[in-house]
Amino acid sequence: MDTILVVDDSPTIRRMVRAALGSLGGVAFAEAGTGLRAIEVLGMEPVQVVVLDLNMPDMHGLDVIRFLRSHDRYRDLPVIVLTTRGDASSRQAALAAGASEYLTKPFVPGALLSSVRELLDARVSRGR
């Protein structure tokens, strides 16, 4: 079973993301309200996709991405940034740091679902 880690300091957004992705079927969800907690969760259980906010209280989402990309274990882990920051420089910074996708809030549930589905399918086609 695939696990999707939803990282956002807002419990409401985490619920909305889970609801948007609920039709995937055969997936489990893990949650974290901070960047540091996300790293802890990743160390404890296998995760196939991360949906990550940038603006969090303890560790900025870009720092989480940089941490992941600096470790072989997480180098290829798909990360979808889901943030209120719609400016071009934030988008460029996230993609340069290693984000797989960049979506803004408020988000279109179908767009998030499509992105996650594509990343999971790509992982399966690579044999991971």
| CATH code for the domain in which residue 47 is found | 3.40.50.2300
In the predicted model, what is the mean pLDDT of the chain? 94
How many separate domains does the chain show? 1
Q: Model pTM?
A: 0.94
Helix (H) or strand (E) holding 49: strand 49-52
Span 20-30, pLDDT tens digits: 999 898 899 99
Q: Cβ–Cβ contacts within 10 Å for residue 14, how many?
A: 19
Q: What range defines the domain where residue 51 resides?
A: 2-107
Average pLDDT score over residue span 58-87: 96
39 falls within a domain: yes
Q: Tokens standing for 104?
A: 């803004």
Q: Residue 10: CB partners within 8 Å, gap ≥ 6?
A: 53
Nearest to 64 by CA among 3, 2, 27, 77: 77
